[in-house]
Amino acid sequence: MTVRAVLVDLDGTLLHTAPDLAAAANRMLAELDLPVRKPEVVATFIGKGVPMLVRRMLPDTADEALLERALPIFERYYAEESGVRTEPFPGARAGLMRLRKLRLPLACVTNKPERFTRELLQRTEFAVFFDVLVCGDTVPRKKPDPMPLLFACERLAVAPQNALFIGDSLNDVVAARAAGCPVWCVPYGYNEGRPAATLDCDRLVADLDEAAQRIAALSS
């Protein structure tokens, strides 16, 4: 495998965003007079974008009218909560610094809307690492569709087979496989509550720093 670029997922791979998402989601439920959920349960709903997260937070009997009412409420609260408790995962900053020293172009590919993503990356001082940012509203379809990854490859001027995607979920693996990108996964992410060992990725790595070290070894 020849790695000419690296694509990185955000929630559950780069940043531990679940506490802020849970806080916003439970404030939404409270405003709707619905029972709140435990943060660890909310974490299993992360991965397919904000509309799906909100849908999963609502009761199974919720109709489209309630979803349309709930979505802007969540977004209002998440604008206040995003970044308050979010922290980088161990090895994330060191890994991106190591990849930068290898002079590899980097893209962040996430299902999170751009207005939240840009602010969060700037707030956590990760924005400087990325040459390209592909968010949930950048292209018409989100992961697990391959479109976001293919768009990132196009922007980075690299063939998909030479663009390594690093993620944490089945969502990421399915998108990478469909795009023709090799894919590595970290074990600490969300993956909708399923163990990372169940993922059909090319390699499990402890964190982004180990990933960067292995990429460096491939280049030597």
The tokens describing 146, both together, are 């391959």
Count of all residues that appear for the chain in the document: 220
Per-residue exposure over 61-74, b if at least 16 CB sit within 10 Å of its own CB, e if not: ebeeebeeebbebb
Distances 195 to 18, 168, 174, 216 between C-alpha atoms, Å: 17, 10, 16, 27
20 contacts 179 by C-beta, under 8 angstroms:
no
- What is the Cα–Cα distance from 170 to 19, expressed in whole angstroms? 21
Do 83 and 123 contact (CB within 8 A), yes or no? yes
Tokens 């849970």 found at: 22
DSSP 58: S
Q: Which two tokens stand for residue 61?
A: 């009997």
User: Is position 9 annotated as part of the catalytic site?
Assistant: yes
Strands 5-8 and 15-16: unpaired
> Which residue type sits at 4?
R
Question: Among all residues, which ones are annotated catalytic?
Answer: 9
